[in-house]
Amino acid sequence: MEVGPTTHYMMGGVRVDAETQAATVPGLFAAGEVAGGLHGSNRLGGNSLSDLLVFGRRAGLGAAAYAKAQPGEPRVEAAEVGRIAAELVGPFERVQGENPHTVQEALQDMMGTYVGIARTEEDLRTALEAITRAALERRESRGAHTRVEYPDSDKHFGTVNVIVRRQNSAMTVTQEPLPELPAELRRIVEGEV
Can you give the pLDDT at residue 41?
47
What is each CA distance from 66 to 31, 37, 59, 72, 100, in whole angstroms?
16, 20, 10, 13, 36
- Mean pLDDT score, 107-111: 90
User: What percent of the chain stands above pLDDT 70?
Assistant: 88
Do 62 and 11 fall within a single domain? Answer: yes
Is pLDDT of 7 > 90?
no
In whole angstroms, what is the distance from residue 20 CA to residue 127 CA? 36
User: What residues make up the domain containing 107?
Assistant: 76-111
Number of domains in the chain: 2
Three-state DSSP class for residue 166? strand
Residue 91 belongs to a domain = yes
Q: 51 pLDDT exceeds 70?
A: yes
pTM (predicted TM-score): 0.60
Chain mean pLDDT for the chain? 85
CA distance 67 to 75: 13
22-31, 50-59, 75-84, 152-161: least confidently modelled range: 50-59
Residue 38 in this model has a pLDDT that exceeds 90? no
* pLDDT for the residue 5: 61
**120 within a domain of the structure (yes/no):** no
d(CA 5, CA 108): 8
**Assigned domain for 23 exists:** yes
In this structure, the answer to whether residues 88 and 42 fall within a common structural domain is no
Asked whether residue 20 falls in the same domain as residue 30, the answer is yes
The answer on pLDDT for 136 being more than 90 is yes
The pLDDT of 126-144, averaged and rounded, is 89
Please, are residues 138 and 109 in contact by the beta-carbon 8 Å criterion?
Answer: no
What is the arithmetic mean of pLDDT over 169-177? 93
